[in-house]
Amino acid sequence: MTQQRRIRVLPRTLVNRIAAGEIVERPASVVKELVENALDAGARRIRVKIEGGGLQKISVVDDGSGIDPRDMLLAVQSHATSKLEGEDDLWAIPTFGFRGEALASIASVSRLEIRSRTADAMEGARLVAEGDVLEGATPWTGPQGTTVEVSDLFFNTPVRLRNIGSPGTEATHVATRVRELALGNPAVSFRLISGGKESIFSSGSGDLAQAVAEVFDAEFAGKLLPLYPGETNAIMSGLVGPPDLSRARRDRQFFLLNGRAITHPAFSAVLDRAYEGFAPTGRHPVAIVILNVRPDRVDVNVHPTKRRVRFHDERELTGRLYRGVQGALLSMKVSRWDIPGGQGREDDAREFHPGAVLAEEQVAYGFARDDEKIRVDRVFENLEPLGQVLNTFIVARGPGGLYLVDQHAACERLYYDVALEASERPDPPAQRLAAPAIVELDGRTMELWRLWGDVISEMGFEVEPFGPGAVAVRSVPILAGEPAPAGLLLEILERLGEGASSTPSSTRAAAALAACRASVKAGEALGPAEIRGLIARMAALRAPGVCPHGRPTVIRIDRTDIDRLFRRA
Amino acid sequence: MKVITDQSQLHAGLQMAYRAIAGGTAHPILTGVLLTAQEGILHISATDLEKSIEAVIPAAVEMPGSLVLPGRELNEIVGRIPGGDIEISAPEDRHQAVITWRASEFVLNGYPPDQFPALPLADGSGAFSVSAGDLVRALSKTVFASSTDDSMPVISGVRLRVGDGRIQATATDGYRIAVSEMEAPGAGGQVMEVAIPRKSVADLVRVLSSAAGEEDASVVLSENHIFFDLPSGVKFSTVLLEGQYPDVLSMVPAPGDYRTRAHFDRAEFAGACSRTALLAEDHRGARPLRLHLKEDRLIIRASSAELGEAYDEIEARVDGPTLDILFQAKYLIEGLRNIGPERLIFSLDDDEGAARMQGEDDSEFYYVVLPMKPRE
């Protein structure tokens, strides 16, 4: 697999160019370094075992290429690495570790034992280091690959030890690292045994979705959407969560660059942006993004832990990610009514979690039928309204069954989109008023108007001061063909006050508010013409199947489910 | 109660009152009609609590009394009887009517008449008389411009201004104003203002047309209601809009105060607008028509990023500076439907202010429309 390279001491000049820093912060960082070494050695199976959160003992066993006995001693010396030969190579790092610091750093704060055998050698070697004291390598026989055992981490650095969390906390950190590595390397089988119990197992199937199912759970994995295929390629691929999986924290966003987990705030920001209008502000999507970037197009040497990187083609990647997430969201299927006993769908393409409950149907991996017609971006084109029930829902006939449209949610989406467009396109259409509408503002809203006047006028309002406590509205924006009521100004100002954040997202917040304000309320009777008009206008939108808060605007009741309810099946 | 009455008169009275019956989900008694028989007359009343209609027909009253019967069923039964005398009788102690015609007999369950809401009394301060035909024209020419926006209830109807021998109907939604004004010799003295809800206007127009024709209607105003007493005995009343109707007319220039005036053929302009509007499509559903007025021409343009462009021009006599101005197509087209006769005057000041349309020989109706904000 990986070509065997001899280990040598790095030239001094190169050592100096490498960002210095402490690598070994806690057990999880030891695990990460050791696993990355194993991956570099071409391991197909990696077993991590920890005791006491890794403070008592960490062992990493791999089936990789192993270390030549002659190199064993060199392996634990500072800046000894088999991965870089000269300065030019630093800009083309294809492997995980490269600084040659890892084993040496770990050895300096623990009792370290390495046992390894290469494929072509009958006999391997064993080496023990304790603090800075090295014993010589001794012959050892065992399976091909490398085993590294780290005991009594930080035994000689009591200060560091004091800053370490409880074994439970540390075990959690280790698990997080192993999970990331398993997601980043779906073709490698990972096993984490913590305190004698297996806590993570991945089979190394090579399929990202399956790796997600294995390290998290099948139901979660089953809901994820592949990044839009038109935007994925050898460089970027991955999975993104539908709106109902969005989270208050970004703890399930994984960016895996060449198998290594990185944090990249620019990508996180792109995810949030691509999600706007699909989930409430402040919610963050779940995403697992796999990046395979040519080593010479990325600088991983920004930070000693290598979690921060710099991309040469940052703009291209963020654009691709944005469009990939958008495409994934638009390709979602209309939510299907989850009828009890109606699980195990005939069109459930994910075979690895039979019986999982899918509240939301996701993009297909190749099943045909009417799938294109029930995507959230297409469904309204294919609906034929039949009437209204409970003054709240529109009943419609559509591909493969019966559809219920939530009229309020649908209107919210409609008005959100038009209001958003209003704020994004310069010089929007606006109607002059016969008599200026006087809107009374208190001190706070008056201040907000002074602050946000530009945004307000971008939306199509023409507002002038009118005495100390009021403004005169001379023009109002046209929303969905009709002039908006002047009173909307006050509500937008109040909403801008609540947000008090940066301009772009607040404009969107104002758009969302305008949407709610102008929406048809639930409980309002609609005539046949109004219903047809609403459905037709929804069909023209980009993402009509989801309301701006991420709730569905329409649900599907399939023929098979109706049959089941009537016990016809 | 026991009355005998002619089928066609009974049916006409029911058809009239039926308009005021409340729709589906209202209290059941509001879906009924109140029949009251006394002294040779049968009163037929219905109300949905906003508007009320009462019709009277001659009847042989053998026993006075009153009863509420389901309006739709009674109306259908009477409508299916080809003619002749119909007898309606009801025992004192039961809310049930027996309707007989020849050998046909219907026993129809009703409601106790004391549960039927009392109709408002026409005891207001102001009273005048007006030609029903004039009032119909004034209302039906203006009501289209009233607001349909629930957030502006005060302008969701037609404002009537009566006095000094004139009657004026005004309607606006804030973006255009329709005004119809005519002499009304019966409306002398003190000027009074009321606003009739849009929903009641349509019913009032129908009742006035069918029950009064060109005859005079006597009108009484109270604080919350307006009452119409029509020559045929039909009474109509409706609640009034609450709140101060805004003085929108004071905001628009007087007829002589516009700098540009164009004279052209109404039908040609209406045709050009409706044709070009087909390709008028802006974002957010706006449908702007761009008008260009110069010397002998009025040019109408529209465009749509998706569909293409439209151009039309008509002959016009334009006095004053040339002008470019944008209007929502709907506001022009709806106004033009109500303007007569053939030539009209289009008066404008600049591309931001109100524009006025009026027939050259029409002193009864004019229409003020506000442009869209000028675009870059």
The pLDDT tens digits for A319-349 are 889 888 888 888 888 878 766 655 444 443 3
pLDDT at A73 (0 to 100) = 75
Sole residue written with tokens 């691929």: A237
B176 contacts in chain A (CB < 8 Å) = 434
Residue A426: the pLDDT is: 65
Structure tokens at A248: 């208050």
* Cβ atoms of residues B345 and B319 within 8 Å: no
By DSSP bridging, strand A554-558 and strand A335-336 are: parallel
Specify the range with the lowest mean pLDDT, choosing from A184-198, A365-379, B26-40.
A365-379
Assess whether B131 and B19 both reside in one domain. Answer: no
Shortest Cα distance, chain A CAs vs residue B353, angstroms: 8
Question: Using CA atoms, how far apart are residues A113 and A109, in angstroms rounded to an integer?
Answer: 13
All CATH 3.30.565.10 domain ranges in chain A, comma separated: 12-200
pLDDT beyond 50 at A313: yes
The answer to whether the CB atoms of A431 and B373 lie below 8 A apart is: yes
Q: Is B23 on the interface with A (CB under 8 A)?
A: no
- Degrees, nearest 5: CA angle A512-A515-A518: 155
Residue-wise over B227-264: b if at least 16 C-beta within 10 A, else e?
Answer: bbbbeebbbbbbbbbeeebbebbeebbeeeebebbbeb
Per-residue pLDDT at B230: 93
Residue B375, domain member (yes or no): no
Length of chain B measured in residues: 376
3-state helix vs strand vs coil in chain B, percent to 5: 25, 45, 30
- Lowest mean pLDDT across A126-135, A328-337, B168-177, B203-212: A126-135
Contact across the interface for B287 and A481, Cβ inside 8 Å: yes
- For residues A66 and A147, give the distance between their C-alpha atoms in angstroms, rounded to a whole number: 9
Q: What is the pLDDT of residue A346?
A: 41
What Å distances lie between residue B51 and A55, A64, A446, B120, B203, CA to CA?
A: 84, 89, 43, 10, 9
Is residue A34 over pLDDT 80?
yes
Q: Does B334 touch chain A (CB under 8 A)?
A: no
The amino acid that residue A9 corresponds to is V
B33 to chain A, minimum CA–CA distance in Å?
A: 26
State the CB neighbour count (10 A cutoff) for residue B125.
10
Predicted confidence (pLDDT) at residue A91 exceeds the cutoff of 50: no
Pick from A432, A462, A487: CB nearest B371 = A432
Q: 10 Å Cβ neighbour count for B344?
A: 25
In terms of Cβ atoms closer than 10 Å to its own Cβ (0-12, 13-18, 19+), residue B73 is middle
Tell me how many helices (H) and strands (E) chain B has.
6, 25
Domain check: are B231 and B139 in the same one?
A: yes
Cβ distance B370 to A432 less than 8 Å, yes or no, reads yes
* Residue A128 half-sphere exposure toward CB, CA atoms < 13 A: 7
Q: B124 or A60, which is more confident?
A: A60
Cβ–Cβ below 8 Å for A433 and B287: no
Last residue of a domain, one of B202, B231, B249: B249
- pLDDT for A468: 87
Q: Which residue has the higher pLDDT, A137 or A227?
A: A227
Nearest beta carbon to residue B284 from set A428, A432, A486? A428
Q: Do B134 and B88 have their domain in common? A: no
Encode pLDDT of B223-254 as tens digits. Answer: 899 999 998 899 999 999 998 999 888 888 88
Closest among A467, A473, A469, A481 to A453, alpha carbons compared: A473
- For residue B109, what are its two tokens? 């369950």
- Is B183 strand, coil or helix? strand
Chain segment A231-276, per-residue pLDDT in tens: 667 788 899 998 888 888 888 899 999 888 888 888 998 888 888 7
The model's confidence at residue A569, banded by pLDDT at 50, 70 and 90, is low
The DSSP letter of residue A493 is H
Cα distances from B302 to residues A49, B260, B292, B313, in angstroms, run 74, 22, 11, 12
pLDDT exceeds 70 at position A6:
no
User: Does the beta-carbon distance from B175 to A479 stay under 8 Å?
Assistant: no
Does the structure's ipTM exceed the value 0.85?
Answer: no
Nearest to A41 by CA among A106, A92, A114: A114
Domain membership of residue B315 (yes or no) is yes
B67 and B105, same domain (yes or no): yes
Phi, psi (rounded to 5 degrees) for A362: -110, 180
Instruction: State both tokens at A107.
Output: 């050895």
Contact A252, A238 (CB under 8 A): no
Q: Are B67 and B110 in contact (CB under 8 A)?
A: yes
Query: Which is higher by pLDDT, B328 or A552?
Result: B328
Residue A432 to residue B352, Cβ atoms within 8 A: yes
Give the distance from residue A463's alpha carbon to the nearest chain B alpha carbon, in angstroms: 12
Where does the pLDDT of residue A101 fall: very low under 50, low under 70, confident under 90, or very high at 90 and above?
Answer: low
Query: Residue length, chain A?
Result: 569
Determine, yes or no, domain membership for B141.
yes
Cβ of residue B355 closer than 8 Å to a chain A Cβ: no
Residue B91 binned pLDDT confidence (cut-offs 50, 70, 90)? confident
CATH, domain A372-569, list 3.30.1540.20, 3.40.920.10, 3.30.365.10, 3.40.50.300: 3.30.1540.20
Partnered with residue B172 across adjacent β-strands are: B177
Specify whether B107 is located in the same domain as B141. Answer: no
CB atoms within 10 A of CB A563: 11
The total number of structural domains that make up chain B: 3
CA distance A94 to A85: 13
3-state secondary structure A22-51: CCCCCHHHHHHHHHHHHHHCCCCEEEEEEE
Phi, psi (rounded to 5 degrees) for B283: -70, 160
Cα–Cα dist A534/A539, whole Å: 9
> Is the CB of A485 less than 8 angstroms away from the CB of B149?
yes
By the 8 A CB rule, do B59 and B243 touch? no
CATH of the domain at B357: 3.10.150.10
Superfamily of domain A12-200: Histidine kinase-like ATPase, C-terminal domain (3.30.565.10)
Distance, in Å, from the CA atom of A222 to the CA atom of A213, rounded to the nearest integer, reads 8
Closest partner residue to B372 among A432, A485, A487, by Cβ? A432
**A444 has pLDDT over 60:** yes
Res. A277: pLDDT tops 50: yes
Do B242 and B277 belong to one domain?
no
CA distances from residue B292 to A58, B324, B350 in whole angstroms, order as listed: 83, 5, 12
Q: What would the pLDDT profile of A390-436 be if each residue is shown by its tens digit?
A: 888 999 998 888 999 998 888 878 777 766 765 666 677 899 999 89
Q: Which residue do the tokens 């021998």 mark?
A: B165
- Topology of the domain covering A223-330: Ribosomal Protein S5; domain 2 (3.30.230)
pLDDT, tens only, A481-519 = 788 888 778 877 776 665 444 444 555 656 665 655 555
- Tell me which of A285 and A485 has the higher pLDDT: A285
Whether residues B60 and B171 share a domain: the answer is no
* Mean pLDDT across B87-94: 89
Query: What is the share, in percent, of chain A residues with pLDDT greater than 90?
Result: 19
A461: which DSSP letter?
-
Owning domain of residue B269:
253-369
B174 closest CB neighbour out of A421, A433, A480: A433
CA dihedral (B241, B242, B247, B248) positive or negative: negative
Q: Which of A435, A480, A486 sits opposite B284 (nearest CB)?
A: A480
Greatest mean pLDDT among A526-530, B259-263, B284-288 lies in B259-263
Buried b / exposed e along B109-124 (16+ C-beta atoms within 10 A): ebbebeebeebbebeb
Task: Tell me how close the Cα of B372 comes to any Cα of chain A, in angstroms.
Answer: 4
A133 touches chain B (CB under 8 A): no
- Specify the residue for token string 């080593």: A295
Query: Pairing relation of β-strands B355-359 and B343-348?
Result: antiparallel
Residue extent(s) of CATH 3.30.230.10 domains in chain A = 223-330
Q: Confirm if A282 and A249 have CB atoms less than 8 A apart.
A: no
Query: What are A417's two structure tokens?
Result: 């989109």
Lowest model confidence (mean pLDDT) among A67-81, A456-470, A481-495, B60-74:
A67-81
Q: Where does B174-281 have alpha helices with state H? A: 198-212, 266-276
pLDDT tens per residue, range B305-315: 878 999 999 99
Residue B352, chain A, CB below 8 Å: the answer is yes
C-alpha to C-alpha distances, A206 to A176, A261, B170, B223, B250, nearest whole angstrom:
20, 17, 75, 81, 77
Domain limit, last residue, from B249, B276, B307: B249
pLDDT at residue A501, rounded to an integer: 44
* CA distances in angstroms from B262 to A412, B302, B334, B342, B347, listed in the order given: 43, 20, 19, 14, 6
In terms of domains, do B286 and B322 share one?
yes
Domain match, B204 and B319 both? no
Whether residues B286 and A485 touch (CB distance < 8 A) is answered with no
Quick check: bond before B82 cis, omega within 30?
no
Which pLDDT band holds residue B67 (cuts at 50, 70, 90)?
Answer: very high
- Among A482, A534, A538, which would you mutate to test the B interface (most chain B Cβ atoms within 10 Å of its Cβ)? A482
Specify the domain boundaries for CATH 3.30.1540.20 within chain A: 372-569
> Between β-strands B65-70 and B32-38, what pairing exists: parallel, antiparallel or unpaired?
antiparallel
Q: Out of B149, B174, B372, name the one closest to residue A429 (CB).
A: B372
Beta-carbon contacts below 8 Å between A and B: 82
| C-alpha–C-alpha distance, residues B28 and B57, integer Å | 25
pTM of structure: 0.61
Whether residue A365 has pLDDT greater than 60: no
Q: Which of B248, B352, B372 sits opposite A435 (nearest CB)?
A: B248
**Encoded amino acid at A59, one letter:** S
CA dihedral of residues A534, A535, A536, A537 (deg, nearest 10): 50
- Domain membership of residue B121 (yes or no) is no
pLDDT (average), residues B105-121: 91
CB distance A215 to A188 below 8 Å: no
